[in-house]
Amino acid sequence: MSTMRSKVIRVWEVLDAGETARSAYERVLARPTSLEVARNTICLLLWLETIAGVHVLEDVSAMEGSGNITLSRLVTEADALYNYLLHGREALPEPCCLAGIPAIEALCSSGRLVDLRFFKFHRDLVARGLTVVRDTIAEVVFSDRLHAMLRRFEDEVHSSTTSVTTSVLPAPELIAPFVAITRTPPEDSRTAFVAFWEGHPLSSQDIVNYFERRLGFGRCIERVETEQPSAGQTPKHAVIVFSSAALRQQVMFNETAVYYRVNGYDMWVQAYKPSL
């Protein structure tokens, strides 16, 4: 009886899949930007790409480089957010604390889900995801050495004559298995982000009742957490942790993102799709 084996992912496959991220990284560096700031920026954008429908890296790679005000603003916001999320700062540094994150919001459908409050509320979850991205995929994306090896291999393949059968093999580093030392906790793979319209919040119990009783899915939710906003604000964000990834998929009708009408108000629910 044969057993199922998971597909081995090679380093060159990660390089190939990360081509857009590499292009965006080079675009940010060309501003010019320090290596640390550029890497912080791309790590944050790589994580944002795990939210379905947000293809920010492709947009960034197509931006003009030096002197681009939008790109400069984006880099400033992304670097500030990265440091806030991962380096234990209790308050966001300027300019985010003063003017929000308009450049990031514009890339992410104008703040329907992703805004400054999103990062504050989901700080721990995003930090976990950023750590995984930083320690795995990003290391390959940022490696000049690996990219140089891949270019040499591609040049050798293209320059080899078709009349003579020549076996051109990639460097051992390229065909080595891609090993992810850190991974996203299983809970995050059964998590969904929730956004309400401003001024029309729903309670955690409203959300549980809607899925488990109104839609009739039964016990499908482990917990719901709702944002506790600042004075004068109403909750805008929540997070649902489903009992399993399969139940999340079922409740969301196999869609990545769904609008629901709960108690007369719209609720946007978007599945979290971690990179690893």
> Is residue 116 located within the same domain as residue 206?
no
> Is residue 61 located within the same domain as residue 130?
yes
Answer yes or no: is 233 within a domain: yes
Answer yes or no: is 6 within a domain: no
The DSSP symbol for 214 reads I
Residue type present at position 9:
I
Domain final residue pick, 97, 118, 135: 135
Q: What is the pTM of this model?
A: 0.89
Q: Which residues pair with 242 in a beta bridge?
A: 221
Q: What is the pLDDT along the chain (276 residues), one digit of tens a residue?
A: 334 445 788 999 999 999 999 999 999 999 889 999 999 999 999 999 988 677 899 999 998 766 678 899 999 999 999 999 998 766 776 767 767 899 999 888 755 789 999 999 999 999 999 999 999 999 999 999 999 999 888 888 777 655 455 567 788 999 999 988 888 899 999 999 999 988 888 999 999 999 999 999 999 999 999 999 888 889 999 999 999 999 999 999 999 999 999 989 999 999 999 888
Question: Residue 185 CB: number of other CB atoms within 10 A?
Answer: 12
Residues in CB range of 234: below 8 A, 6 or more apart: 196, 198, 199, 200, 201
Answer yes or no: is 1 within a domain: no
Instruction: Rounding to the nearest 10 degrees, give the CA dihedral for residues 138, 141, 142, 146.
Output: 130
Q: How far is C-alpha 142 from the geometric centre of its chain's CA atoms?
A: 17
Residue range(s) defining the domain that contains residue 229: 186-271
Rounded-to-integer distance, Cα 72 and Cα 70, Å = 5
Which tokens belong to 237? 């964000």
Answer yes or no: is 52 within a domain: yes
Overall domain count for the chain: 2
Phi first, then psi: what are they for 261, rounded to 5°? -110, 110
Which tokens belong to 7? 């597909």
Tell me, what CATH number does 258's domain have? 3.30.70.330
Residue type present at position 172:
P
| Cβ atoms 247, 167 nearer than 8 A | no
- Shortest CA distance to 40 belongs to which of 23, 55, 28? 28
| Cis bond before residue 32 (omega within 30° of 0) | yes
Instruction: Rounding to the nearest 10 degrees, give the CA dihedral for residues 63, 67, 71, 76.
Output: 160
Answer yes or no: is 142 within a domain: no
> Is residue 101 located within the same domain as residue 198?
no
> Is residue 205 located within the same domain as residue 125?
no
- Shortest CA distance to 71 belongs to which of 82, 60, 85? 60
> Is residue 211 located within the same domain as residue 109?
no
